[in-house]
Chain A
């Protein structure tokens, strides 16, 4: 089970990805340096920022923390994580980071000092972002006000407090590399896949995790009985009873825009933040791409509810 979910699981695709990464790295070195404060990069970066949903986790809004200054608690079965400061403050934030360091954080889950990040930071999703989106995102973040809020250490259960445990974890469960478009699918589907699987990192909450906190890929997006803060997260595959099988694509598109469920009720829990801080900012085309991608997935029953396929 563990081995099947390992980095070798992708088969031929992993090699394609690896080749693609090498290609990008090669191109990166000849790319001209971008002027600081490039306006269009900031505008594009803001859209990426919204699509990637950075705001909600990196702001401790409950305690009126400064925007993006971190400190928001995320209670998980492994302990409590506190999000870090991602404002351009050079000491407490990411103001001293180079483009390459920023990209390594998202692509490889690695901090500038070489430490591995815990996957509470959704780099297993962000790794699939393209380098331009990453750089634009950095431009936007660097255009935001700095806040000198120090980072708070995570409060984790044994043995997860030891960061060296992350090295084997990544070896087993993390596949690095940007998303390669599926040539058999149209542009809309590919855009939807990028938004759902990478930028939007929907699976980080909606996919159940194994006992080591890695996404259970066979039950992708089928709901998580133990989501962040101990909450149950719903099934968003097109399963007819448990998932969104009874919704229309318009229902889903409108939900992502407004928060209204098809029955007129309003989104609950963390999804309210996602809608307010992220999906309501997307354009209609992107929301429709998300919907058509989700409806293209196989319906999967949630963990512990009998048969896996519908």
Chain B
């Protein structure tokens, strides 16, 4: 019985996900993707303000880190086929994402690991460690943006 329920749930989930992809316009997916990326950038920018010593909101860092960590779980499905910069305007996602899926996957996982680490560092509460955690996160941003994002025109 439990197995059957599980199978139904799994089936439903698969169908809804597939439908979601089929129904979404590539242009709208790109808009959504960019909104998520901007959100991540907003939180890293906020943490950077603390790390640079511009503001003393060290207690906020954990909240920003958790937000980034949650966003990092979304990234993998934000790149459905057909949303590259050759087939869609106003976007910098290079076709290499779909040409080298294993490499892309590894880069996303590295981002997830770095954001999980940042949560840990932030929750430990030692402000002198925030910079290192953020820098590690930055490296993982570059790990994806360097090979897979076109430069600004």
Contact = CB atoms under 8 A, between A and B. Distances in A.
B152 interface: yes
Contacts of B3: none
Nearest to A248: B54
A258 interface: yes
A117 interface: no
Contacts of B134: 258, 260
Interface stretch (B69-77, B114-122, B139-147): B139-147
A262 B48 CA distance: 8
A101 interface: no
A259 B152 CA distance: 16
Residue with the greatest number of chain B CB neighbours at <10 A, chosen from A258, A262, A267: A258
A262 B53 contact: no
Contact of A272 (B43, B53, B135, B146): B146
Interface residues of B, number: 25
Contacts of B42: 264
Interface string A268-294: 110010011000100000000000000
A232 B151 CA distance: 8
A17 interface: no
A265 B41 contact: yes
B151 A259 contact: no
Contacts of A248: 54
Interface in A242-260: 248, 250-251, 254, 257-260
B142 A264 contact: no
B52 interface: yes
Given A251-B52, A254-B52, A268 B138 contact: no
Interface residues of A, number: 22
B149 interface: yes
Given A257-B135, A258-B138, A231 B44 contact: no
Contacts of A272: 142, 145-146
A273 B56 CA distance: 31
Nearest to B145: A266
Interface of B: 40-46, 48, 51-54, 131, 134-135, 138-139, 141-142, 145-146, 149, 151-153
22 contacts: A248-B54, A250-B53, A254-B51, A258-B131, A258-B135, A258-B138, A259-B139, A259-B141, A259-B142, A260-B45, A260-B134, A260-B138, A264-B44, A265-B41, A266-B145, A267-B142, A268-B145, A268-B151, A269-B151, A272-B142, A272-B145, A276-B142
